[in-house]
Amino acid sequence: MTRRDRGRVGLPWLLGTLVLVGALVAAVAFGWTTGRLNPLVCGGACGPEAVATPAGLTLDTVPERTAPDPVVTRRPDPDAVRAAVGGLLDDPDLGGRVGVSVSALDGTSLLDRDASATFVPASTTKLLTAYAALSRLDPTARFSTSTVLDGERVVLVGGGDPYLASTRPGRPTRVDRADLRTLAGRTAEALRSAGRTSVRIGYDAGLFTGPAVNPTWESSYVADQVVTPVSALWADQGERDGVRSTTPAQDATARFAVYLRDAGIRVRGDATRADPGSSAQPLAVVRSATVAQVVDAMLVRSDNEAAEVLLRHVGIAAGGAGSVADGTRAVVATLRENDVPVPGLRLRDGSGLSRANRIAPATLAGVLRAASARAATAPLLADLPVGGFTGTLANRFGTDSAGRGLVRAKTGTLTGVHSLAGYVTDRDGTPLVFAVMTDDTEDVNPFVTQAAIDDVAAALAGCSCGG
């Protein structure tokens, strides 16, 4: 074979290469559209910011309104809505009790089936917590974790950062994370500047009050590793090596002490609870993600711990203490102040883990409409998981569903309980707010009930409901 021959590309090799490249492109396209590339692209389920917003989903840009300007000019037709979903609501897979509310953004009722009856809401409770947090707290505010020097003792002071980490994550995460190792390094530097190389250590988690474990939760939740006792001071939400701590403040402080030693400070004795006086000297501080970022992560992940921490901050912002009771009172007051309908509302926590909660579909739909009306709360709608793409909806609304990419909603699931509340744009680009709730499905396969609820939302997406 001549040099010239060796430089040629044989036709079979060329054809094989083209086929291989074509298959690779097809595989990437399939992985992208189905979301199976999410772990590579986003390091997990992609957030709403990674999804091209379908036409009509522009509620995150709703400005503050002082006049009753309609958000959309097309008025939905109640008859078209009922025709689209009416038959689906009689599906026995939805169980014995079903409540539904579908409305326009201006509050016009389009479909009401037991919308004022109350149901166990599960995690759709987080919609109320998120709305109250964005209403009562500055969305740009951050929670501080700090250290102070009180005599011979360094005190680690918890500021209620739900996403405080032990160490800085190795790669970017959805939510900014302050970390204990960084705080220890800054504290060590401040101590050396003050001429100290040896200290005792304590912790102050007194920002939150009341029981750390909600008395209305199932008694097994902590033992079964469902949830961490709520604390104003923890690291990694009290988890280490997949195990949840029952004493998160003490464990976070013990970890901090290790990092302080690594930074060259001698730590004498064990960590103890402390109440630093007014004469304590500030040493160092790290700050959390913004409230807006925390709300986003909480909704997309349906994060129980973050919801319970936010609830306590809401209580404090409303003038109460950092207890669950103060938080729930503040949430209810926020809803009433903003004319959200609250028929029969009973709120016992911020996450929806409590089966003692009772919320009506009209309340869930109402809080979504109220969120769309103000710039401070409108991001709540953009934070909702996208059907088929993100968060708790990443594996729902498959490629053949009319709701894929058009449904943005918060899920709620407990044994025998399923709910879905959010908004959808129909085929005409008309936004529809909806809530579907059922809490009597113990005898039905949960995935079957989940699919039946998704069918209702998908039917709204496939409907030409605009008048």
Show which residues are catalytic.
123, 126, 302
> Tokens 């290790």 map to which residue?
258
CB 466 within 8 A of CB 77: yes
In the structure encoding, which two tokens stand for residue 280, read together? 């304590």
Separation of alpha carbons 316 and 7, rounded Å: 76
300 CB-near residues (< 8 Å, 6+ apart): 45, 47, 48, 174, 383, 384, 385, 390, 391, 392
* Residue 83: how many other CB atoms lie within 10 Å: 13
* Residue 327: how many other CB atoms lie within 10 Å: 32
| Terminal-residue alpha carbon distance, the chain | 75
In the structure encoding, which two tokens stand for residue 379, read together? 């991001």
> Tokens 């204990």 map to which residue?
180
In the structure encoding, which two tokens stand for residue 213, read together? 């474990």
Distances (CA, A) of 419 to 89, 133, 141, 313, 361: 13, 22, 31, 26, 9
Q: 184 in the Ramachandran plot: left (φ > 0), alpha (ψ -120 to 50) or beta? A: alpha
Separation of alpha carbons 223 and 242, rounded Å: 14
147-184 per-residue burial string, b: 16 or more CB within 10 A, e: under 16: bbbbeebbbbbbbbbbbbbbeeeeeeebbbbbbbbbbb
| Residue 54, CB-side half-sphere exposure with 13 Å CA sphere | 21
Give the DSSP per-residue string, 143-194: EEEEEEEETTEEEEE----TT-BSS--SS--SS---BHHHHHHHHHHHHHHT
82 CB-near residues (< 8 Å, 6+ apart): 110, 111
Distances (CA, A) of 425 to 105, 196, 387, 407, 465: 11, 62, 12, 7, 10
